[in-house]
Amino acid sequence: MLTLLLALASAQTSADVLADQAIGRIETGDYAGALILIDTAATSADADPDRLSYLRAVTIELNGSPEQAIPLYNDGLERWPDSTLHDDRIFRLAEATATVGRPRRALRILRQLNEDSFDGDDRVKLELVRGIAWLEAGRERRGTDILTPTLEQASAEQVTFYQAKARMAWARVLADQALKLDMRGREKKVVAELQARAQLLADVEGQVTAAAQLQEPEWVLEGLLILGEAYAGIGAALIDSSRPKRLTDGQLTEYDALMDQHAMVVLTKGSRAYGSGIDLAARLGWQSRRVEQLDVAKAKLDAHIEELDAQ
């Protein structure tokens, strides 16, 4: 049940072989190659349309188009109501629905599952996805109340994809909280919010580090993307923060130089985080939209750093 990329136990037909090869492509992030294999398998006389439809939907979803995968999951539920993939489709439909910004709808979809039959990895996976949905619904306390014990009790080898995904959802929430802090106003307020940002950034780093240990490339890349954005955000905030009052012109000049220096250090860390993700993807031969996002983000931040350095 609820296998991410389900390989059904059956005699290996030519279509089965192609489908298994497609799964291998998906697992390395080669979604375009996977779709070619799935389309080729579909032309075979021994093709299993149920399985191939499911794999096509999964591939499209993981390639960054969950909105296109949703109708495919719904179609599969309607066409094959007694399929062994029924619960898998419901589960992935819920995930895709949350990804397109409808986490509360995703939670309702999850209720269609018979949870009494869930144990082991399936139970852990379900709780992680439910916790992520609550986070994304803005119910952060409820989400973390589910995720904290689930992540603490899960083994290092257990549903690592979903453990890493949960940690990155949590990291994104923490990073967003940091970005919302306004480092302008009275000096005491600026200092307090700078300290709060520093703590939130440390918490983000903790989640990213824990996710990296799970060795799930896609979520490691997501973590480095989040971390780079967090560094870039705090660097920009340092530059735009309010200047202390009652300083002489000379003291203000020194203060501005010091803040610019701190900002440059943080911005450089952001660029390095992006670069680490790009290098990792290159070493693994990993292909996904997150690699493109890292490329774009690093180029933009590097240009900003050069501009500041030239001033």
- Per-residue pLDDT tens digits for 174-205: 998 888 776 666 667 767 777 888 888 899 99
**pLDDT for res 7:** 45
pLDDT tens across 267-282, in order?
999 999 999 999 999 9
pLDDT at 185: 60
Q: Count the neighbouring beta carbons within 10 Å of the beta carbon of residue 106.
A: 24
Indicate the SS3 state at residue 80. coil
Q: What contacts 102, CB < 8 A, 6 or more positions away?
A: none
Q: For 125-142, what is each residue's pLDDT tens digit?
A: 999 999 999 999 999 999
pLDDT digits (tens, 9 = 90+) for 218-235: 899 999 999 999 999 888
- pLDDT: which is higher, 180 or 307: 307
96's CB contacts (< 8 A; 6+ apart) are 61, 66, 67, 69, 70, 73
- Give percent of the chain above pLDDT 90: 59
- Across the chain, mean pLDDT equals 87
Whole-number pLDDT of residue 187:
64
Burial 2-27 (b: 16+ CB within 10 A, else e): bebbbeeeeeeeebbebbbbbbebbe
All residues at 6 or more sequence positions from 53 whose CB lies less than 8 Å from its CB, including other chains: 72, 75, 76, 79
The per-residue pLDDT for 11 is 47
Sequence ranges of the domains in the chain: 168-311
Within its chain, how far is the Cα of 20 from the centroid?
A: 25
* Amino acid of residue 121: D
Q: Which two tokens stand for residue 276?
A: 């680490």
How many CB atoms are located within 10 Å of the residue 83 CB?
Answer: 16
Q: How many CB atoms lie within 10 A of CB 67?
A: 14
- Separation CA 190–CA 196 (nearest Å): 10
CB of 270 closer than 8 Å to CB of 228: yes
pLDDT grade, residue 64 (50/70/90)? confident
How far apart, in whole angstroms, are the C-alpha atoms of residue 176 and residue 171? 9
Q: What is the mean pLDDT of residues 69-91?
A: 94
Instruction: Indicate yes or no: pTM above 0.75.
Output: yes
Phi/psi for 288 (5° steps) reads -165, 170
